[in-house]
Amino acid sequence: MGDDRRTALFNVLTIVTLVATVCLVGFYGLVAFDVFNPFPPPTSIPVAVLPETTETPTPGESIPTWTPTTTPTMSPPTDTPAPTLTPSVTPTFPPTPTFPPTATPTPRATRSPWPFTYELTLNSPQYGCGWTGVAGQVQDLDGNPLIGYPVHIWGAGLDMVVNSGADARFNTVYGHQAAWEQFFDSHPKQMQVQVQLHDPYREDHLPISEAVVIDMPGYCGAALGYVVFTQNH
């Protein structure tokens, strides 16, 4: 009798367990297929959205456009000239006294280390084209003749000394009282001659001018080498 009760009890417990299992499986099936959700998510609060307002232009009305403002141009400041001083009354001075003009001295020959300077020109001979030679004159600062001065002449195969003013004929030909002359050839001849003035007052007759080199070109228009010795100091 006791065994039958125990067996009936176990059968009842088994049936209850099976029913509970079937219910549990059915419950999980409903949850899995989202038929039943025992924990639904919280309901979100709706947010109000304001409607956008779009201005619709009235037909026939133009939409205003933005016009940029003109930027003012800065011009550099203009220098304002300083006020000009008005000159006062100019004082009148007495006239400057006028002095008599100063006499202009007569120009003289340039001083040089030698007591006498020279001036050389090549001319046509006074005797025509049948003559070649040298001539000249000796004078002081004012052009006065200095007679008796030895003139040394050398070159072209000749070495001579003649004195100024020693031959009246030469003085007449050249128009000077201290003239001198030396003949070389009866026709124009190309040659080089040198002439130098010496001191007549010393026994050694030292030179008192530099040696003048005369290059004769060999034609009639320059067959006379004319040398003027002028006292310098």
Task: Report yes or no on 8 lying in a domain.
Answer: yes
Helix (H) or strand (E) holding 2: helix 2-32
**Residue 49: inside a domain:** no
pLDDT at 86: 57
Comparing 22-26, 32-36, 105-109, the range with the smallest average pLDDT is 105-109
Mean pLDDT of the 26-36 span: 71
Q: At 171, phi and psi to the nearest 5?
A: -60, -40
Residue 56 lies in a domain: no
Indicate if 28 and 122 belong to the same structural domain: no
106 domain-assigned: no
Q: What is the mean pLDDT of residues 78-93?
A: 56
Residue 96 domain flag: no
Residues 124 and 32 in one domain: no
Residues 35-44 have a mean pLDDT of 62
Spatial separation of the C-alpha atoms in residues 149 and 166, rounded to whole Å: 9
Instruction: Provide the CATH number for the domain around residue 145.
Output: 2.60.40.10
Is there a domain that residue 208 lies in?
yes
Task: Quickly list H helices, 108-177.
Answer: 168-174
Q: Which domain holds residue 123?
A: 116-231
What is the torsional sign of CA 25, 28, 33, 35?
positive
Indicate whether 128 and 30 sit together in one domain: no
| Average pLDDT of span 160-164 | 97
Q: Is the pLDDT of residue 12 over 90?
A: no
Pairing label, strands 212-217, 132-139: unpaired
Residue 131 located in a structural domain: yes
Judgement on whether residues 124 and 226 belong to the same structural domain of the protein: yes
Residue 65 pLDDT level (bands cut at 50, 70, 90)? very low
**Residue 22 sits in the same domain as residue 128:** no
Residue 58, both tokens? 């009235």
Distances (CA, A) of 201 to 136, 143, 145, 204, 207: 20, 20, 16, 9, 11
Residues 225 and 120 in one domain: yes
Residue 120 shares a structural domain with residue 16: no
Domains held by the chain: number: 2
- Which is more confident, 118 or 110? 118
For residue range 181-231, list pLDDT tens digits in order.
Answer: 999 999 999 999 999 999 999 999 999 999 999 999 999 999 999 999 999
More confident residue, 198 or 70: 198
| 162 occurs within a structural domain | yes
